[in-house]
Chain A
């Protein structure tokens, strides 16, 4: 039997250094508290408990296996963290007490930094929300919802009108943002926080 020359062998999906755990370490270090990500035993309880699993590219279990395998690009491209609704169902059921929901936040941050995502709807929503909070100190639902829908679902806006109108007429949505008194103090704090973050990353 003839053996195919090595140059024709398909590229291996397994990274060269099987013991290269830098991605795992990085994700772990960037997560608040102690992530315990390295403790994952791949039991799958998380995916089985997740209300959003059907819409996810990868279940949390699979995503964690990819992180362990050092598949940086695939892991950061996954829509999973963006679909995660932070319900903590997986967190309270995980036998290894992995801080799954917080790892999802970390992955979002890393994906934004690396500009790795397929659909920008969710990252944009987070960013718009954050921009408004940084500007006013309070969230501003009306401005946020209209801007977001206008950009991403313009065709849905007319159909959302009854709901928006209902919220407005009951004065459950304010058309004007409110600003906190200490907005300068808050801005100073956030500026410093970003500097601290940059030094330690």
Chain B
């Protein structure tokens, strides 16, 4: 068993549940033991860093401090989310590079009874651990249902192979790691030229047109290479390409139906696990047709009733004005 500390990040429990479920499902077979960091907090995504420096790095470093405390052996921290991984790795790297930053961050941590020595933990992305620690041979040995004939676009997104402080990846722009893993699962891997291009990041929120353009480019390219399915290693990429695919279609008048699943879901299928335990059916663009190519029936994305709102939750934003309200306003203004 290889033991690691897990930093799941906020999206794993909600928008990227399929990633979490499938990660848990494949951990046993490949011998990966993950212990979640107790009471971790959000890494700040790409937002906090733009607000102010020391608080942003203190926010990230609380997680590192908690991990170091919990780390009795010599275990690395594993982050499955690309943005979380990059933030944790970056905080550690910059505190080593600029000791004043480390001093300031530690002054802040000390107020909460914590401290962190930069460099005391290794920070790794899940894909890196699976390929370089667990190894392709082990992964291959677990395959009972090879993904023969499934054409997969290996989509890494930008943050995992870049900026690569510890020089872990074969290349910044065309790394081969994910391709090799998918080949080990028996899949037919397309040479996806945009494998490290950007999915639009937070632009879906602040400049949707910019994001739609990037999303469209990725899907067009995957389609042009006749991919049946795209696979990602990042909750943000999955969310943008899957959940916003319909919005992009509306925007461009297109009709893309490219399923986007996490690479751990494909691993689970190849390992012969039940698709229900791998988070299939949670995608908005159904993966059923693609997966039927390898003779696997995945659940149809289901619409179930949303859970009722609890009274203890945040006050919701006011509802949109109705047409009648607006007409009233126009009248009043006259």
Contact = CB atoms under 8 A, between A and B. Distances in A.
A86 B243 contact: no
B50 interface: yes
Contacts of A154: 320
A171 B101 CA distance: 39
A70 B306 CA distance: 54
A163 B284 contact: yes
Interface string A146-161: 1111101110111110
A69 B182 CA distance: 50
Interface residues of A, number: 86
Contacts of A140: 314
Contact of A176 (B62, B104, B208, B310): B310
Contacts of A176: 309-310, 312-314
A189 B66 CA distance: 13
B104 A171 contact: no
Contact of B55 (A129, A156, A174, A193): A193
B108 A92 contact: no
A52 B210 contact: yes
Interface string A71-112: 000000000011101111101100000000110111011001
Interface in B163-179: 163-164, 172-173
A122 B204 CA distance: 11
Contacts, number: 254
A2 to B, nearest CB: 51
B201 A32 contact: no
Contacts of A91: 162-163
B48 A133 contact: yes
B243 A105 contact: no
Given A87-B198, A196-B54, A92 B162 contact: yes
Contacts of B317: 146-147, 150
Listed residue (A133, A154, A174, A177) with the most chain B CB atoms within 10 angstroms of its CB: A133
Contact of A189 (B111, B173, B316): B111
Contacts of B244: 163
B50 A170 contact: no
Secondary structure of the A side of the interface? Answer: helix
Interface stretch (B38-46, B72-80, B131-139): B38-46
A162 B285 CA distance: 12
B282 A139 contact: no
A20 interface: no
Among the interface residues B109, B162, B173, which one has the most CB atoms of the partner chain A within 10 A?
A: B162
Contacts of A42: none
Contacts of A87: 158-159, 162, 197-198, 201
Contacts of A82: 206
Interface string B255-270: 0000000000000000
B47 A129 contact: yes
Interface string B210-239: 100010000000000000000000000000
Contacts of A101: 163
Task: Report, nearest first, the 6 A-B pairs whose CB atoms are least far apart.
Answer: A108-B50, A193-B108, A192-B111, A87-B158, A88-B162, A33-B94
Given A85-B158, A143-B314, A180-B39, 8 more contacts: A52-B203, A126-B51, A137-B42, A159-B250, A171-B304, A193-B58, A197-B55, A200-B100
26 contacts: A31-B53, A32-B49, A32-B98, A34-B97, A82-B206, A83-B203, A92-B173, A104-B50, A109-B53, A125-B205, A127-B51, A133-B59, A144-B205, A146-B317, A160-B247, A162-B246, A165-B303, A167-B243, A172-B282, A180-B39, A182-B112, A186-B41, A192-B110, A192-B112, A193-B54, A193-B105
